[in-house]
Structure 1
Amino acid sequence: MAANTPTLNEAEKARWLRKLDRATAAHEKTRQQLDELIADARAAGITLTLIAEHTPYSREWARRIAARVHTDRGETEATADE
């Protein structure tokens, strides 16, 4: 039988939501850094297998991440040149 969810007052709820917001922002920042590093490692010649062994991603996800970052960078560079 599932336990009931405790009832929080508004101040407690707000405190928990601020903690979640901070943790989410920190996670998004470090995830972006990891994605960029995966793309850089791939461009430097590190194999997808080695990337997968050293990150929480499979070879396919590492390939997709590297491709997305390279595409994003290409679009950003093209926009900056205009």
Structure 2
Amino acid sequence: MAAKTPTLKGPEEARWLRQLDRATAAHEKTRQRLDQLVADARAAGVSLTAISEHTPYSREWVRTIAHRIQEARTVEDATPSE
């Protein structure tokens, strides 16, 4: 029978949650940067296969990410600035 996972409360739980929050924010920031670079590489003509070999993404994810980023950039470019 597996041991029961302990349940934390109070300051120790809060400490763990702060660490998770910081790590999540750092991960999100670097993931966004990687996604931008994937889109830039694709727009420059780098193949899906080459990008997927140098990132943790499959070719399909590279295609999806590049398309999503390009669409977002197109919308930003079309939005009139004040």
TM-score, normalization: structure 2? 0.92
After TM superposition, give the deviation of residue 2 of structure 1 in Å: 2.3
State whether structure 2 residue 9 is matched by structure 1 residue 20: no
Counterpart position of 2:35: 35
Residue 80 (structure 1) shift: 4.3
Give distance in 1, aligned partners of 2:80 and 2:6: 51
CA–CA separation in structure 1 for the residues paired with 2:37 and 2:70: 11
Structure 2 CA distance, aligned partners of 1:3 and 1:33?
40
Residue deviations 1:47-70, cap 9 Å, x none?
A: 000001000011010000000000
User: Which residue of structure 2 aligns with residue 11 of structure 1?
Assistant: 11
Which range moved further: 2-11 or 26-35? 2-11
- For residue 81 of structure 1, report the CA deviation from its aligned partner: 4.0
Q: CA RMSD in A?
A: 1.3
Distance in 2 between residues matched to 1:78 and 1:18, nearest whole Å: 39
Q: What count of residue pairs does the alignment treat as equivalent?
A: 82
Determine the structure 1 residue equivalent to 2:67.
67
Instruction: Name which of structure 1's ranges 71-80 and 37-46 shifts more when overlaid on structure 2.
Output: 71-80
Alignment gaps of 5+ in structure 1:
none
Once residues 45 and 80 of structure 1 are traced to their aligned partners in structure 2, the CA distance between those partners, rounded to angstroms, is 29
1:77 aligns with 2:77: yes
Runs of 4+ in 1 over 2 A off after TM superposition: none
C-alpha distance in structure 1 between counterparts of 2:19 and 2:80, whole Å: 36
